[in-house]
Chains A and B, each alone.
Chain A
Amino acid sequence: MRARMQGGGQGRTGLLMVAPAGVLLILFFFVPVALGFALSFTDARLISPKPLEFVGLENFQRLLDDPVFWTSLRNTLFFAAVIVPAQSGFALLLAVLVNVKMRGTNLFRMLYFVPVVTSIVVVSILWRFMYQPDGLVNSMLHWMTGNVVRVDWLNDTSTALPAIMFMSAWQAVGFHMVIWLAGLQTIPGELYEAAEIDGAGRWHQFRFITWPGLRSTRTFILVTITIAALSLFTQIHVMTGGGPLDATSTVVFQAVRVGYQQQQTAYASAISLVFFLLVLAVSLIQRWLTRERSA
């Protein structure tokens, strides 16, 4: 009798328990996402006494004609195109290195992971200092090559974005190492033993056991790095402010610049919408890739 009564109360208790999270997610996730769509068709400004007005596709027209937007989009895609293979490859190399059973493994894994728990703001400040013409990077290069190097890394249009790429990979690679490692450890050791008996070399073992065994891990890593790369903002804001000559401006940086500094919420929403579509495209590709696997 009692159990049945409680069974009847499940609906109410369930709703009650899910309500706080539900209300908060609606207020601070679904509404702003929907607003992002809606406001991009208006003339909304951050602080304005004027009522909103519908302006149709005006913001998108402006977007098409905005050279800074196109530069930012190109920089963002270039950043992603380099960082995705470079960072995932380096992370896999680190994972393989710390997956070898020998002394000191835990220490090394911890060391590689420390930059991940260090704030990207701190990392950006530190590397901004190191990238100065009289900074540590140039002096290390001098020490290694014997030539005097005086590259002004962050103030040169050709080196600023690559310098930020290197730093970003340096900071985040430990994160993806841990995920690769989790994937590597799901591959049964017997497979390698069997391959050894069959006389397979290390490369063949990697090619035919490790690589196929990491299939779902791989998709996940590629997608997370791509989305993080497309979201590039903090490094730019701390290190270069988008310069020199917009050489490091990105889509999110540009959205913040117009939306926050210039208070043009509507135009910033239109830029965010482009960013949203990019992310959506990436996750649709992920779906397609994982679907292929289960078929």
Chain B
Amino acid sequence: MRRRSSTRVRAAVLAARLLCAALFAFPLLFMFVSSLKPDTDIFKDIGSVRAFLPVGDISLDNYAGVFDTVPAARFLLNSLGISLVTVALGILVNSMAAFALSRLSWRGSRLALSVVIATLVVPFETFALPLVWWVDKLPWLTMNGLRLTWSTGWLDTYRVQVIPFVANAFSIYLFYSYFQSIPRQLDEAARVDGAGWFRIYRTVVMPLSGPAIATVAILTFLPAWNSYLWPLMVVQTEELRPVMVGASYFFQLKVHWGEIMAYSTLITLPVLALFLAFQRAFVNSIASTGVKG
């Protein structure tokens, strides 16, 4: 379809591509390679190409050190749990809302849709600080033996790291656009068979929405795994902290760069593995964010 390029142009393009590839890959390669070396070797190798090569005194000592220095396993489990629960609840809650907006007519549905779209541009940072003040005042029901009792304050909990991020205007919008593209004849056929709306949502619309679910899952998982500002402010207890906040522990002690690079690699690997496995879905989700413009 596109014009054929001459050999000279192609050579120039290839050269530019390789140069950019080096720019993006070398720092990450340096991180990984350094995580395998003792600190003295890291600094010795920095002046030469050895900085990017796993040569010399290579071992997994830094990785073992990471688990001795900080409760890394705990941080990883926390982040994994928080991210997965946020993703699962997010898919459920946002797709239900989108279904109601796309398929059902109820009082205020048009207004609700435009409100959802209007909230898309407001960054979290604009209301993060009032939100800290606010979650400290929220009530919660706890089981005390067999009695239910009210307590106040969500600071220093898992729930404060999950619940505020479950409902998401952009996820609703993505599901909504996707549902709009599913032919309504399908629901009507199910209606004729006597299915209720909830059943249509569960057995007709959702099973056809794989790509939208994948997009929302990726776009929820990434910020949940990477969250930093929020847990920094609302979680003080070490056992409840996620991986990104855990990184700051290394700077409170004698700075040991090999271990820091090992921890950085460790907390990057899960996301990187997901990315490599679902490349197309990742890139499509990102591209889909451009649609709203």
On A, residues with C-beta under 8 Å from B are: 2-3, 6, 9-15, 17-18, 20-22, 24-25, 27-29, 31-33, 35-36, 39, 44, 46-47, 94, 97-102, 104, 108-122, 125-127, 129-130, 134-136, 139, 142-143, 170, 174-175, 178-179, 181-183, 189, 192-193, 196, 216-217, 219-221, 223-224, 227, 230-231, 233-234, 237-238, 252, 255-256, 259-260, 265, 268-269, 272, 275-276, 279, 283, 290
A100 to B4, CA, bound (A): 9
- CB of A279 within 8 A of CB of B126, answer yes
Identify the interface centre among A21, A27, A98, A193: most chain B CB within 10 Å of its CB.
A21
* Cβ–Cβ contact A181 & B287, under 8 A: yes
B24 and A24 contact, CB distance less than 8 A: no
Identify 11 residue pairs between A and B in the complex whose beta-carbon atoms are under 8 Å apart, listed by A's number.
A10-B197, A11-B105, A29-B122, A35-B127, A35-B130, A36-B130, A102-B10, A126-B28, A179-B289, A269-B130, A272-B130
Quick one: which of A21, A28, A99, A114 contacts B164, CB cutoff 8 A? A28
- Interface residue? B182 (CB, 8 A): no
> When the two chains form the complex, which single residue of B1, B93, B225 contacts A24, counting CB atoms closer than 8 Å?
B93
Q: Does residue B21 face the partner (Cβ distance < 8 Å to A)?
A: yes
Q: How far is the CB of B243 from chain A (nearest CB, A)?
A: 8
- Residues of B near any A CB (own CB < 8 A): 1-3, 5, 10, 13-14, 16-17, 20-21, 23-25, 27-28, 30-31, 43, 46-47, 51, 93-94, 96-97, 99-101, 104-107, 109, 112, 116, 119, 121-123, 125-134, 136, 138, 163-167, 169, 172, 191-192, 194, 196-198, 201, 222, 225-226, 228-229, 232-233, 244, 247-248, 257, 260-261, 264, 267-268, 271-272, 274-275, 279, 282-283, 286-287, 289-290, 292-293
A29 touches B287 (CB 8 A): no
| Cβ contact within 8 Å between B129 and A18 | no
How would you classify the secondary structure of chain A's contact residues: helix, strand, loop or mixed? helix
Q: Are A121 and B93 in contact, CB atoms less than 8 angstroms apart?
A: no
Q: Judging by beta carbons under 8 Å apart, are B293 and A272 in contact? A: no
| Neighbouring B residues of A237 by C-beta, 8 Å | 228-229, 232
Contacts of B264 in A (CB 8 A): 122, 125-126
From A40, which residue of chain B is reached at the shortest CB distance?
A: B130
Contact B100 A13 (CB under 8 A): yes
User: Which A residues lie within 8 Å of B131 (CB)?
Assistant: 28, 32, 35
Q: Contacts of B99 on A, CB cut-off 8 Å?
A: 17
Q: For the complex, what is the distance from the CA of A290 to the CA of B293, rounded to whole Å?
A: 9
Residues on A with beta carbons closer than 8 Å to the beta carbon of B23: 170
Interface residues of chain B: helix, strand, loop or mixed (majority): helix
Q: Which residues of A contact B225 (CB under 8 A)?
A: 119
Look across to chain A and name the residue whose beta carbon is closest to the beta carbon of B18: A108
Partner of B191, one of A6, A111, A193, A256: A6
A108 nearest CB across to chain B (Å): 5
Q: How far is the CB of B213 from chain A (nearest CB, A)?
A: 16
Interchain CB contact under 8 A, B119 and A117 = no
State whether A35 touches B134 (Cβ < 8 A): yes
Max count, chain A CB within 10 A of own CB: residue among B5, B94, B260, B283: B283
* Minimal Cβ-Cβ distance residue in A for B223: A119
* CB atoms of A196 and B3 under 8 A apart: yes
Measured CB to CB, the nearest residue on chain B to A28 is B164
Q: Answer whether A21 and B25 are a contact pair too, CB < 8 Å, given A125-B264, A269-B129, A279-B123.
A: no
B225 to chain A: closest residue by CB: A119
Q: Which residues of A contact B16 (CB under 8 A)?
A: 97
Flag if A9 contacts B197 (CB, 8 Å): yes
Most buried by A among B163, B169, B196, B244: B244
Our pick among B2, B244, B271 for the contact of A101 (Cβ within 8 Å) is B2
Docked complex Cα distance between A14 and B111 (Å): 14
Are the C-beta atoms of A117 and B3 separated by less than 8 Å?
no
Are the CB atoms of B24 and A268 closer together than 8 Å?
no
In contact, B122 and A279 (Cβ under 8 angstroms) = yes
Contact present for A125 and B247 (CB under 8 Å) = yes
Residue of A3, A24, A97, A283 with most partner-chain B CB within 10 A: A24
Set of chain A residues within 8 Å of B136, measured between Cβ atoms: 46-47
Residue from A6, A25, A119, A221 within 8 A of B268 (CB atoms)? A119
Question: Beyond A100-B5, A134-B43, is A219–B293 a contact (Cβ under 8 Å)?
Answer: yes
**Bound Cα distance from A25 to B164, whole angstroms:** 8
Closest to A26 in B: B167
Q: B104 and A32: CB pair below 8 A?
A: no
By a CB distance below 8 angstroms, the chain A residues around B107 are: 11, 15
Which 3 residue pairs spanning A and B have beta carbons closest together? A220-B293, A14-B106, A24-B167
